[in-house]
Structure 1
Amino acid sequence: MCDECGCEEHKHEVITLEENILKDNDVRAAENRAFFREKEIFAVNITGSPGSGKTTFLEMLIPHLGKDNIAIIEGDLEGDVDSCRMESLGVRTVQINTKGACHLNAHLVSHAIEKLDLNGIKYLFVENVGNLICPTFFDLGEEMRIIISSVPEGDDKPVKYPPMFASGNMLILTKIDLLPHISFNREKFRDELSRINPNMPVFEVTSRKPEMVIPVAEAIKKQSKEKR
């Protein structure tokens, strides 16, 4: 409804604009997906709150998939801290700075992949801007969406942000070494996930035990083979 006069016209214009933005994004996402499939690259969209452990998760995962098999797109409002971390591991990486936008979109990703040498790449990981709202609605052309949620964030995140948690293909619960020190009800968290997204597998990890990511790597490998 229009805030100025109470009519419906302004509301319709806003809805139409939003629908057009998402429609345009879906077209570009389909183009990205076709490109990845042609190149036999398994694309993964990593989403989650700021500080949930997205970059640390990737650091743990890389040795089990092979750094030469991986390319990474890092999305942040500003800076290149995370992309520098990936490059220090010898992984082909490109940084996207959104300059204030709270999510990546398929158009930005399409330009980022133009800057990457994708020869021999089997897996492309896109670390999205830290946010549990906007990235939900923007398909990047990925085959898999992984949601990172951490113990310090609390067990209520699936209840508060159901669209994001409903959109995932896999959930990683990070920082589980903090469970003895933080009020986090694991059963409640998993029950809410099961209600929102009953078929989504959940893995628990901590950077103190990097080997805990091995089952995640195996699950990604399996999904990748099934898509080829």
Structure 2
Amino acid sequence: MCQTVDLRQAVLARNDDSARELRAALTARGTVAVNLLSSPGSGKTALLEAELGLARQRGVPVAALTADLATENDALRLARSGAPVKQVLTDGLCHLEARMLAGHLDGWLPQDCRLLFVENVGNLVCPASYDLGESLRVVLASVTEGEDKPLKYPTAFGLANLVLVTKADLAAPAEFDEAAFLANVQRVNPGVEVLHTSARTGDGVGALLERALAVLDGAGVHRPVMAAHHGGGHHHDSGHHDGGHHHDSVRAPR
């Protein structure tokens, strides 16, 4: 058992090193990465499509990378926004890793991109432990998933800089107990901001874009208490990302 734990710690430590390198490379070129985590069926793709479309309307240089075990369905949906989109198939791996992400970005990420949205594999277990070099980590949960989701997946919710409630238009028929959900979120991640969205009605659409733009402009992010127990790799002060610094590509960490 000790050997298993040691191996996992070593893997995560190597990933954190790669994430720091990737974050530095993205920062140098003036790009903020946003890591989106949720369980399957949360409405993550629908919301991201709407956010990308809004970014395009506002002239914000944006791109999206989406990861799945199979199919390019999500990439095809996101591409309707007009933003550059890349599909990553993980071949059975239940999460992305920083080195893997860097490899897919190298030579593909548009030079003028200022916001990169990463739609992680639909899973609240494996992806939670892996820093991707993001400046903003967002966890989404739909009103149909139950109020106890944060307690069932404390690492995912506990390391979030922002929590989004999706499909808010279904709260009444789903008998969603908002007060209980909010209390559970605060229990695992005190002080984290929780926003309500509905891609179908448009309510709350744009809030994610605004938070990401604020980070791009140098605003700090919520620092989860749990981050201290995970090496702090996911959470850091978000300094100003100067768009004047550019590199030809994003280099994959060694």
- 1:201 correspondence with 2:189: no
TM-score (norm 2): 0.82
Match of 1:150 among 131, 142, 149: 142
Distance 1:144 1:137, change over 3 A: same
Q: 2:184 aligns with which of 158, 174, 192?
A: 192
Q: Quick check: 1:217 aligned with 2:217?
A: no
The DSSP-based 3-state class of the residue aligned with 1:101 is coil
Residue 199 of structure 1: how far off its partner (Å): 2.1
**Are the equivalent residues in 1 in contact too, given 2:53–2:82 (CA < 8 A)?**
no
- The CA RMSD measured in Å over matched residues stands at 1.4
Q: Which has the higher contact order (CA 8 A, sep 6+)?
A: 2
Is 1:25 aligned to 2:20, yes or no? no
Native 8 Å contact 2:50 2:81 kept in 1: no
CA distance in 1, matches of 2:199, 2:47: 8
Where does residue 76 of structure 1 map in the other structure? 68
The whole-number CA distance in structure 1 between the counterparts of 2:35 and 2:80 is: 21
Please report how far the alpha carbon of residue 76 of structure 1 lies from its aligned counterpart in structure 2 after TM superposition. Answer: 0.4
Return the match for 1:130 from 122, 131, 138. Answer: 122
Q: Tell me the distance in 2 between the aligned counterparts of 1:215 and 1:106.
A: 26
Which amino acid letter does the alignment assign opposite residue 59 of structure 1?
E
1:140-171, Cα deviation, whole Å (9 max, x unpaired): 00000011100111111011111110110111
Moved more, 204-213 or 35-44: 204-213
Measured after TM superposition, the shift of residue 122 of structure 1 is: 0.6
**Partner in structure 2 of residue 171 of structure 1:** 163
Deviation at 1:71, TM superposition (A): 1.2
- Is the contact made by 2:143 and 2:171 (CA closer than 8 Å) also made in structure 1? yes
Q: Is the 8 A contact 1:170 1:202 kept in 2?
A: yes
**Structure 2 residue matching 1:146: 3-state secondary structure:** strand
Asked if the contact 1:170–1:201 (Cα under 8 Å) also holds between the matched residues in 2, the reply is yes
* CA–CA separation in structure 1 for the residues paired with 2:135 and 2:197: 22
Distance 2:15 2:208 in 1: 29
Equivalent residue letter for 1:218: E
Pick closer, same or farther for the CA change 1:104–1:55 going to 2, 3 Å.
Answer: same
State the partner residue of 1:36: 26
Alignment of 1:58-77 (within 5 A): 58-66=48-56, 69-77=61-69
Judge which range, 81-90 or 166-175, deviates more: 81-90
Query: Which structure 1 segments of 5+ residues have no match?
Result: 1-10
Q: What does residue 2 of structure 2 align with?
A: 12
Greater helix content: 1
Is contact 2:66–2:88 with CA below 8 Å preserved after alignment? yes
Q: Per the alignment, in what secondary structure is the counterpart of residue 40 of structure 2? A: coil
How many pairs are equivalent? Answer: 218
Work out whether residues 168 and 196 of structure 2, in 8 Å CA contact, stay in contact via their aligned partners in 1.
Answer: yes
C-alpha distance in structure 1 between counterparts of 2:211 and 2:2, whole Å = 44
8 Å CA contact 2:62, 2:84 repeated in 1? yes
Q: Aligned residue for 1:5?
A: none
1:3 equivalent in structure 2: none
CA distance in 2 between partners of 1:19 and 1:170 (Å): 26
- Report the residue type matching 2:4 in the other structure: V
Alignment check: 8 A CA contact 1:68 1:120 kept = no
1:48 to 2:38 alignment:
yes
The Cα shift of 1:220 comes to 2.1
Of structures 1 and 2, the larger Rg is shown by 1
